């Protein structure tokens, strides 16, 4: 059981921190397990406690009606792991509802390399833009529109995402609606200056991508 436990959790450590991570086991004491251990990993030139684990005390299983099995358990602090992997400096950020923070971790690839980017303390300005795609919709790529948004908006573009897609049954045209979140790191943006940037994005998308702004 000890071999299975340690082999499994060493694999977890390697998955989280890389196959060449250094780790060590230390004896410890935890409720409900005996013997018990801590697994530490060497990260950023210091030893970091990753998790605690142990063999379940047999009376616990007996009282649960499990008479012919043994088991092991472990517990780890997900926030501590995330702070290391994503370089998040403050644990209080995990309670944030700010989309500037949350959107950084939206990905379909669980192995994607994500490095946290500081979020501005100033308020967001949110503008939507809707347009009909060209007649040959297959020629349109959302990534091309994202490139236009970021090339024109630069550092004040915090987020851009497709929020709605609609196909008109009569005209056979497809409409996209994108939400653009503007925010400055050093000051509050006015809606007037955001509108100017937004207008330039619409004009460039019309010119370069052949879309028709609604």
Helix locations, 39-179, DSSP H: 58-63, 78-86, 99-102, 142-153
Is beta strand 125-132 parallel, antiparallel or unpaired with respect to 212-213? antiparallel
C-beta of residue 57 within 8 angstroms of C-beta of residue 33: yes
Q: What are the residue ranges spanned by the domains of the chain?
A: 2-76, 125-213
Is the pLDDT assigned to residue 137 strictly greater than 80?
no
What would the two tokens of residue 166 be?
Answer: 């609609």
110 pLDDT tier (thresholds 50, 70, 90)? confident
- Please give the pLDDT value at position 80: 86
- For 47-104, the pLDDT digits (tens) are 999 999 999 999 999 999 999 999 999 999 899 899 988 999 999 999 999 999 999 9
Cα 148 to Cα 203: distance, rounded to the nearest angstrom: 10
Beta carbons of 63 and 71 less than 8 angstroms apart? no
Q: Residue 109: what pLDDT? A: 87
Q: Whole-prediction pTM value?
A: 0.71
Q: At what angle do helices 2-17 and 78-86 cross, to 10 degrees?
A: 40
**CATH number at 125-213:** 3.30.70.380
Distance separating alpha carbons of residues 129 and 131, to the nearest angstrom: 7
Indicate if the pLDDT at residue 211 is higher than 90.
yes
């Amino acid at each position: 059981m000890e071999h299975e436990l340690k082999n499994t959790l060493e694999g977890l450590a390697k998955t989280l921190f890389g196959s060449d991570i250094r780790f060590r086991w230390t004896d410890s004491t935890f409720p409900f397990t005996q013997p018990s251990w801590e697994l530490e990993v060497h990260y950023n030139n210091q030893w970091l406690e990753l998790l605690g684990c142990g063999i379940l005390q047999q009376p616990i299983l007996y009282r649960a009606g499990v008479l012919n099995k043994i088991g092991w358990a472990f517990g780890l602090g997900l926030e501590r792991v995330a702070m290391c992997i994503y370089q998040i400096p403050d644990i209080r950020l995990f309670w944030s509802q700010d989309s500037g923070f949350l959107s950084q971790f939206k990905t379909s690839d669980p192995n994607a390399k994500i490095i946290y980017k500081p979020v501005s303390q100033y308020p967001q300005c949110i503008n939507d833009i809707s347009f009909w795609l060209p007649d040959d919709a297959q020629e349109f790529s959302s990534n091309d529109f994202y490139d236009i948004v970021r090339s024109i908006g630069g550092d004040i573009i915090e987020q851009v995402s497709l929020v709605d897609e609609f196909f008109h049954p009569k005209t056979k045209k497809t409409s996209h609606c994108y939400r653009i979140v503007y925010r400055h790191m050093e000051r509050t943006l006015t809606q007037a200056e955001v509108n100017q940037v937004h207008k330039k994005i619409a004009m460039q998308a019309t010119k370069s991508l052949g879309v028709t702004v609604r």
